[in-house]
Structure 1
Amino acid sequence: MSRIVYVNGEYVPEEEAKVSIFDRGFLFADAVYEVTAVLDGKILEWEGHVNRLERSLGELGMTMPVTRDELLEIHRELIRRNTLDQGGIYLQVTRGVADRDFAFPKDTPETLVLFTQARNLTDPKDGIKVISAPDIRWQRRDIKTVQLLAPSMTKMLAKKAGKDDAWMVEDGYVTEGTSNNAYIVTEDGTIVTRNLSNSILHGITRAAVLKLVAEQGIKLEERPFTVEEAKKAKEAFFTAATAFVCSVLEVDNVTIGDGKPGPIATRLNDIYIEEARKAAI
């Protein structure tokens, strides 16, 4: 049975879903997106994701095509129709359909599409190996746009090197992973992660995990760190909406710690899942 997806007010089988070739998301990557995690058939971090969606749209001069309540109901209906227990819901809003022109069209209805992706989010995590690579993205990474060719190309550099992902580097400092926020743990147990700016995406899971870090009394430094710092770290990990907290075992062929998932990352992942489940809607 195929998935049921949402396209501009209609729930249709994925094989029947269509968007115009003149959609600006297709022609210009003129679109934003969000991915929300689903556990036990419930949505995690809803307020954070919808707040960021509205911010991204506002930064591009776009508006929400439906109300918050309507958008939540669309998510829930997709969960019901696809009997989704664990996984994610992908949402994309484009500026809509108009003849090809670099100038933004006026009074064009936005395109709204959503679909589900089933996956197990709670299995124990083995950790990943990363390489470092130049960050070749544009300067507004705080907007969650669909302009993902650069991180996709960078991800493929890692795959060709036999690794799982890449940590992107700008001016000598790690910005983030191709689809996640990056962290290291120093010898004294301090968590270090890059401070918020236009250089990185303001991760929703990042915010939730840093709140847990504070509650657990773990020291935190929000600042850029170098690849060399990462290689010497006691632990390294990343956070993402459908990966939660996952250890990084190796950076540029240098083993981090003992080469196994670190205790701090493992602990934070367990606590995050427990607290996220409590707050899921």
Structure 2
Amino acid sequence: MAQLVIDRIRAALDAVAARRSAGSRPQSVCAAVSAEAAAGTPGPSGYPLLAPLLSPSVEAPVGLCLKGDELTRAMLNSSTFAYRVEGTDAKMKPGIIGTAPGEHAEFCIDVDRLGRGERFTVLLGHLVSYEHMGIARVTCEGECSCPAEEVDAFVKGGQFSVFKAKVLELARARAPAAKPPPRAGCGCQLRLEILPKSGSGEFKFKVLSLMTASKPGQLKFGHQAGFNVRPEEPRTEKTEQWLTDSTNRVRERERKGELPPWAKTEAKAAG
């Protein structure tokens, strides 16, 4: 039994290391390890891997993990934020952007598998900077509730633009919503609206990533490793291809009518 446990841990670590080097997302790692275990893939000693320590039913209730252009899939058509890839070289930052007071973004969260009144956590990854940035008010609608909060993306002093994570505590509503959800899998709507006040004198707000989990501790891996959307090295042929692929995916979904008409793409190539 001890050897089986060791094999399980080794296989999981090997899978994480391999997929990290390939630049995959943390949820892909979990899915791959689970699939290997379910298929009875043998470990180093020849014994099959044990079942996942966390079953799909445990991870499923609110397993949202999105960044970059993936965020557009969770947005409602009424949103006025737009997808853009900004920056050059190691400072590339793809995300969803609003630039004026009143502009808003609404993200869908599927809460159907949560119990009534059950709490969960959202990790909102956003840009903070010493210039241009404003304040967004975060509220919840539909089948969920949360305290209204203001998220200030302006940081006075210095000269930097970096990722920051805002932890939000939500709960599924104890009673059904008064009106049906805007679409399937959108019982809870997380709304961000840019406020008409700003420490920088401008109002930009940029969402970089969005994660959900039934427990805060489940978000640590994604926060530390999976949601650093900035490349770790100067732009190379590989990162140029990543930028092109990311933009092309959004354009293809626009062509197929899978994105709302306001969606925009912008790729700023290195000079």
TM-score range, shorter chain: under 0.3
TM-score, structure 1 as length reference: 0.24
Higher relative contact order (CA 8 A, sep 6+): 2
